[in-house]
Amino acid sequence: MRKTIIAGNWKMNCIRSEAKSLVEDLKVKTAGNTDAVDVLVCPPFTSLTLVAELLEGTGIKVGGQNLFWKDKGAYTGQISAPMLVDAGCEYVVIGHSEPRGRFGVAEPDFTPEILAFFGDSDATVNRKLHAALKGGLKPIVCVGETLAERQAGNTDSVISTQTTAALKDITAEQAANLIFAYEPVWAIGTGEVCEAGEADRVCGVVRSTVAALYGPEVAEQARVQYGGSVKPDNAVDLLSRPNIDGALVGGASLKATDFAAIIAAAPELQK
C-alpha cells in the first residue's frame, strides 16, 4: 500500500513571525498523526531554516517551493538543491502551475510580456527534477491542465505530455520513488474542486503514463497527489480514491486546524 503524503504549500505567505506561530499551532494539532502519514510543509525560502528547526523531531518534514538546476554560479535570484538541503529541506515542489505562468484566477495586469517572467516549461521542469534527485531531495512533480485545455477535451493529452516530458532520462528506479501532483489549474485558488471521481481518473492518467514508460510495477510504487482547493470537507472523499495517494494543499495549509483535519482524513487514520 502506498503511504499517504500530505504537503502544505504556503506559497508567498508568512513572514518569519507568522511562520513560527503557524508551526507551533500545527505541532499541537497534528500530534500523533505524523507517523502513519508523510507530512511536510513548504514555506517561503526566507522561513525555511526557522521552520525546519521548529519542526525537528516532530515527524513533519520541510520542502522548498522551487529550485534551479545548477548547484552554484552567477544566477541571481535562484536557489539550488544544496542550498535547500542546507536550509533543512527533504522535499521540493517542481513544475507548479504558477512558476509555469498558468494561473487559475485571472490576473488582469499579467500581460503576455509579464507572464514571460514565470518561465518554467516542460524542459526546465525536467532539468529541475534531475537536479533535485542529484541533490538528494524528494521531488513533487506537478502537472495540470488549464480550463481552456479541459474544455477543448485535451486534459489527458496535456497530463500525459507533461508527465512524459518531466521524466526524460529518469531511470525506472528513480521514477518508482517519485511523487506526482495532479493540480488542475482551474481549481487552484479558485474555490473550484475537481470532482473526486474525475480527480482520481486523471491521477490514473499520470499513473498509466508512468506505466507506459517504465511498466506497471514502477507505476504502482509512484505516488500521485491531488491538489486544487483541497479542504477538510472534501479531503476524505478525495483521499479515499484508489489513485489519489495524498494532497498538495494550498490555502488550507495556512490554517493549522484545517491542515490537521486534512491530514486526519488520510485512509491510514480513518477508524
Q: What is the pLDDT of residue 135?
A: 98
Q: What is the pLDDT of residue 270?
A: 86
Q: What is the pLDDT of residue 31?
A: 85
Q: What is the pLDDT of residue 105?
A: 84
Structural class in CATH, domain 5-269: alpha beta
The list of the chain residues with pLDDT below 70 reads 271
Which cell is 171 given? 531511470
**Choice among 98, 145, 149, 183 that is catalytic:** 183
96 catalytically annotated: yes
**Choice among 90, 96, 149, 220 that is catalytic:** 96
Which cell is 40 given? 511536510
CA angle 197, 218, 220 (to 5 degrees): 35
Give the global pTM.
Answer: 0.96
How far is residue 29's CA from residue 206's CA, in Å, rounded to a whole number?
A: 32
Q: If you search the block for the grid coordinates 503511504, which residue do you land on?
A: 3
Q: What is the pLDDT of residue 80?
A: 98
90 catalytically annotated: no
41: closest CA among 98, 90, 95, 84? 90
Q: What is the pLDDT of residue 118?
A: 92
The residue ranges of every structural domain in the chain are 5-269
Long-range pairs for 111-120: beta carbons < 8 A, 24 or more residues apart = 120/95, 120/96
102: closest CA among 158, 152, 57? 158
Please, what is the angle between helix 196-214 and helix 155-166, to 10°?
40
Helix and strand element counts for the chain (H, E): 12, 8
1: closest CA among 268, 271, 236? 268
Question: C-alpha 172: how far from its chain's center?
Answer: 21
How far is residue 40's CA from residue 222's CA, in Å, rounded to a whole number?
A: 18
